[in-house]
Amino acid sequence: MKPFSTFITNLAILVIVFLGTFSTQSHAELPNLSSTKDERSLSNPSYVIGQHWFRQINSSQAVIAFPPAYNYVRQALSTIVPHTSLDNKMIEITLLNSTQSNAFVIPGNHLFIYSDIMEMITNEDMFYALLSHEVAHLDLNHYERQSQFSSQELSKTLIMIGASLAAAAAGAGSDATSALWIGGMANQAENTLTHSREQEQEADRQGRRYMKAAGLNPQGMNHLFKAMFKASLGRPRLEFLSTHPLPKTRIADSMSFQKEDSILRQKESSRDFLFFRATMLAYRAILSNRVDYALLQSIPNEDAYNFAQALVAYLQQSPQKALTFLAKVHTHNRFVSYLKALSLQSDGQKKAALKVVEGVLNLAPNDLSFGTLYATFTHTKYRGVEVPRYLYEKKQVWEADITYYRDRQNIPMALNYKALLDFSLGQDKEAQRLLFRALQDAKDTDKPLIKRTQDEIDRIKEAEKEEGIRDD
């Protein structure tokens, strides 16, 4: 791990702070994380702990906010997860912009993918292999099994990860991505336990089984390991490899399962994968001093390349330049339409932006991402049929609701949804402050809804307190 002196200093302080918050339970008996299979319930300690970390990580400025990318990952997971034994088939997703290559999971069915890892993942089979490997960790209850193996080591893991997440939430260091070595911390802490390498191999093998059951090409696992091995030769500190068995060992194990398929049998990557990869690399390119070079080297598809350039321009607050690149894109999909709508709106072309959104909704009226975009553009209430389940969806709805109620001068209701948004980003005290203000000034007809928000947050906080995560 590349050292960041300021960041390490801040982290050392935060370790002490986090130990203080953990003090009431640091010597107590740790929770049995496998005590329940109701995976997304506050009665499940694994979910409570994982959800707490998840909220902290999502407060980082490095979180990628581009809904079509999340929709693609969600759809890809839906191909794999039905072939697992996970009781609840829902896995929360967070995409993070980083100069490190990593992907990891935490308890409670939460998956994190760093943008940089998509440079080495060049086709969809490899991406499915990555997802299958990470889902296997969840399905095989690796964190829970570790807690049973060594409660002392798990205690260290919780403290290390908690301190790292606190650092990420605090924005430690001048480089936002420096906080994203939390994944490495999670893996490093995990690998202090005796069976970590065996678990990685177990996840590799189980992931292959998922791919085969789902009708995917299991050789994607071989290709992923080969790419990892190649990348490790050129990078002295490849984060994804630093806490895993040697790539050549994993290649040998993977190759022993099945002979390499002929290239004629390999399927082409879908267009959505190409644009998902372009999205991740566009965000990654923002962190580079040579944006054009990075994109040219990594994105051979012309439409995906122009889309990536457009996204970079939009992120750099140049909507006209973004629209120029989008005009060169011949592919029509939700990635392109979403970015075009955002760019037109930022450029002041509100009617044209709304027309793009309406064009998508005419074909898919229940599309949540474009439904919330329509509500935001028109300052109307989002009334979509699809109920938001994932955090990235809820954030879109809450942001639209904030716009709607602010436009109608109903500040207490705007504060209610702002509180939900802040709490989802780990800003618990700010959320509590906003709810207090909202209840004071709200109309009688609005108070029951605000109180339900307060009750929901209180239930989560109480569950976290029971697991020793917080003492307030």
Secondary structure, 3-state, the chain: CCCCHHHHHHHHHHHHHHHHHCCCCCCCCCCCCCCCCCCCCCCCHHHHHHHHHHHHHCCCCCECCCHHHHHHHHHHHHHHHHHCCCCCCCCEEEEECCCCCCEEEECCCEEEEEHHHHHCCCCHHHHHHHHHHHHHHHHCCHHHHHHHHCHHHHHHHHHHHHHHHHHHHHCCCCCHHHHHHHHHHHHHHHCCCCCHHHHHHHHHHHHHHHHHHCCCCCHHHHHHHHHHHHHHHHCCCCHHHHCCCCHHHHHHHHHCCCCCCCHHHCCCCCHHHHHHHHHHHHHHHHCCCCHHHHHHHHCCCHHHHHHHHHHHHHHCCCHHHHHHHHCCCCCCCHHHHHHHHHHHHHCCCHHHHHHHHHHHHHHCCCCHHHHHHHHHHHCCCCCCCCCCCCHHHHHHHHHHHHHHHHHCCCHHHHHHHHHHHHHHCCCHHHHHHHHHHHHHHCCCCCHHHHHHHHHHHHHHHHHHHHCCCCCC
* pLDDT digits (tens), the chain, 472 positions: 333 333 333 333 233 233 333 333 433 344 444 444 556 677 777 788 888 888 888 888 889 999 999 999 999 999 999 999 886 778 999 999 988 888 888 878 889 999 999 999 999 999 999 999 999 988 887 676 665 555 544 445 554 554 454 444 434 333 333 334 444 444 444 444 344 667 778 888 899 999 999 999 999 998 998 888 777 665 544 444 333 444 444 444 444 445 545 443 456 789 999 999 999 999 999 988 777 777 777 899 999 999 999 999 999 999 999 999 999 999 999 999 999 999 999 999 999 999 999 999 999 999 999 999 999 999 999 988 888 999 999 999 999 999 999 999 999 999 999 999 999 998 999 999 999 999 999 999 999 999 999 999 999 999 988 877 776 6
- pLDDT at residue 197 in the model: 63
- pLDDT at residue 183 in the model: 44
